[in-house]
Structure 1
Amino acid sequence: MGNALRFLYGHCCKPEAADSDSLGPHGVSSANVGVSALARDIYHYEINSQVPEGLGKHVVSSKKAQSNWYRKLSEAWRQAKPPPITAEEASRLVIQTLKRHQKADVEGLLAFYGLPLPHTLVELSTGAPTSLPEGLKFELQTLPVDAKAVADGDTITVYVSTMDPRESASVPRDVQIATVERSKARAQKNYTKADALHKTIIDSGYRVLNVQNQEVLARKYRIRLRGIDAPESSMPYGQEAKQELAQIVQGKCLRVLVFDEDQYGRSVGDIYCNGIFVQESMLKKGLAWHYKAYDKRPELEKWEKEARAKRVGLWASSNPEMPWVWRKDRREGR
């Protein structure tokens, strides 16, 4: 566990020059308050047995009790395989570890780190399918996803290594030649030529990516999440939907089951991330609509209804606008 905590502390919690207004209560950027800050404080507790300053303003119990929490959290983190990476994972670990403690203390501790409170977490029921679904055209196993590849709450760009058996036989010859020539140009430090060759590769729908210090030729796929429609970026909750999807997939290798291709050339499919069905998560958090016109699966309808009943996400609004209606109005100049 020490290595994992040191990694999070070293990479996420190093102080950087920034305006004080952009810093959270732990002296790191607001984007990093959460898992990284909790990891830092557990790491410090293991060294000096001290709980963080300022925690007492958020909880009701004594410092002796707080010390007991960090001892338990340290042990829980050590046993977690893998350790928490996302804010939700960290929140669940805290809630489970401190389940016998006062509700006010647990929620105060979560609030101190900016972690999700218990009532905001959703239970996900659907893991990856064990058999191939009807209508499946093909399956993709992606390379780790860059958060910048998320266009909005229902569209993402992924890359698949050409070492994959499905891809290896279909790489265009001009791409193969450009890849070899680019490698030679880089070895000769002719970066202008190498960049020009990479542009040729990119224009052909491929890209050379650095994966664990190895250059990998990969094919690009644009994926449209099947059965859901998230708010457009300029709509209410559009940015929240995009950020949520990015948080789920960032740095992860995805399993994508492709069923169709839409009018924009995107592969329409179901996405699974570490066993999580991404569409289920987006629907239950109220960050997407069930796209009934294109997908009749009853479970998608059920998950949307659950979010509506809880008034989470976009359902907090009394009459949220449907994204397909919003797009139609914009096309017609309304």
Structure 2
Amino acid sequence: MGNALRFLYGQCCKPSTAHDSETLGPHGVSAATVGVSALAQDLLQFDITSQVPEGLSQHVVSSKKAQANWYTKLLAAWKEAKPPPKTPEEAARLVILTLKRHHKADVEGLLAFYGLPPPHTLVQPHAVGVAPQWPEGVKFELQTLPVDVKAVADGDTITVYVNTEDPRESSSVPRDVQVAATQRSKARAVKNYTKADELQKKIVDAGYRVLNGPNNEDILARKYRIRLRGIDAPESKMPFGKEAKEELVKLVQGKCLVIHAYEEDRYGRCVGDVYCNGVFVQESMLKKGLAWHYAAYDKRPELESWEKGARAARVGLWASSNPEKPWEWRKDRREGR
């Protein structure tokens, strides 16, 4: 991580000449490179010193302690991004996705500090490493709030929440849900928690939830149950069922996801491809031998290849010579065998 940041800084943050002086950004480099290179430099410094850059407080409203929390998250996201951001647009998207639950003014202030594009100028924002165009068959894209550990049901199913301020969601929130969310905030303000809990139940029953934001603000979010497309992980009571769930938790816990939704299954779940900071989650599960390629429903050759690689390496469930297929295990249970 440190070497990668140093290389990027060395390539982009070269001393400016007098000819460049009119285009200098707040870090003393050209406007064309200030976003990525300066952020890389500051993340490197934060990794070493745990200190946020001087002058940032002039652009944001939160405390130094909150700022340090941002840089901790950004540092982790940068380490996981494959490849790391190389353009101002990619860097801006990483910041926006990583700090999505934080105060809008803080996110915009941080972007402005680095001369990065503001959110409204980015077209179809995606996680770093995700193709800018949707693959064929994608019906819509979800950009989630950070995933809670309790939201992972097993190795191939998760529950996610999407902020209703998202343009796709904002126009479809039922009026009664909006009213209930407003009334809940008022009830909590006067410490009428019984009333607030009643309203929260009404909101939850409608498929939404009010979550607590990083600055103690209320976030009205829509609930989605996601079935990871193209894989079938061992059920919880099967061998490696526990390990599959734990690996999925490790991949997504506390992180914002980008989900390409293809269809809805018979259980009302969105069947989709899940990306986390540029990592394709299904690929990771297959390569670690913690899921089968669900070939009956997904013919993608790359999924087949990843499963074959895990089989050959005898990792995960493939340590067994003849592991039971989860779809056959479920069928046997339905038929009482």
With normalisation by structure 1, the TM-score equals: 0.63
For residue 283 of structure 2, what is the aligned residue in structure 1? 280
How do 1:176-255 and structure 2 match up within 5 A? 176-212=178-214, 213-255=216-258
For residue 301 of structure 2, what is the aligned residue in structure 1? 298
For residue 131 of structure 2, what is the aligned residue in structure 1? 129
Paired residue secondary structure (2:286): helix
Paired residue secondary structure (1:133): coil
How do 1:255-266 and structure 2 match up within 5 A? 255-266=258-269
Say what the alpha-carbon RMSD is for the aligned residues.
Answer: 2.3
Distance (Å, rounded) in 1 between the aligned partners of 2:314 and 2:267: 33
Contiguous gaps of at least 5 residues in structure 2: 2-46, 49-71, 81-127
Distance (Å, rounded) in 1 between the aligned partners of 2:234 and 2:160: 21
Paired residue secondary structure (1:258): strand
Paired residue secondary structure (1:235): coil
TM superposition shift of 1:128: 1.9
Distance (Å, rounded) in 2 between the aligned partners of 1:282 and 1:255: 17
Distance (Å, rounded) in 2 between the aligned partners of 1:209 and 1:168: 16
The answer to whether the Cα contact below 8 Å between 1:152 and 1:241 also exists between their aligned partners in 2 is: yes
Give the percent of matched residue pairs that are identical in Structure 1 and Structure 2.
74
For residue 166 of structure 1, what is the aligned residue in structure 2? 168
The total of aligned residue pairs comes to: 221
Distance (Å, rounded) in 2 between the aligned partners of 1:279 and 1:192: 42
Structure 1 residue ranges, 4+ long, deviating more than 6 angstroms after superposition: none
TM superposition shift of 1:83: 4.5
For residue 152 of structure 2, what is the aligned residue in structure 1? 150
Q: In the alignment, residue 283 of structure 2 is paired with which amino acid?
A: E
Q: In the alignment, residue 179 of structure 2 is paired with which amino acid?
A: I
The alpha-carbon distance between structure 1 residues 205 and 240, as it changes in their structure 2 partners (threshold 3 A), is same
Q: Deviations over 1:35-72 (max 9, x none)?
A: xxxxxxx99xxxxxxxxxxxxxxxxxxxxxxxxxxxxx
> Given the alignment, which residue of 323, 326, 329 partners 2:329?
326
The answer to whether the Cα contact below 8 Å between 2:185 and 2:218 also exists between their aligned partners in 1 is: no
Distance (Å, rounded) in 2 between the aligned partners of 1:210 and 1:81: 18
Distance (Å, rounded) in 2 between the aligned partners of 1:275 and 1:139: 15
Q: In the alignment, residue 156 of structure 2 is paired with which amino acid?
A: D
The answer to whether the Cα contact below 8 Å between 2:287 and 2:306 also exists between their aligned partners in 1 is: yes
Distance (Å, rounded) in 2 between the aligned partners of 1:315 and 1:127: 29
> Given the alignment, which residue of 261, 268, 272 partners 1:269?
272
Q: In the alignment, residue 228 of structure 1 is paired with which amino acid?
A: I
TM superposition shift of 1:132: 1.1
Distance (Å, rounded) in 1 between the aligned partners of 2:74 and 2:320: 37
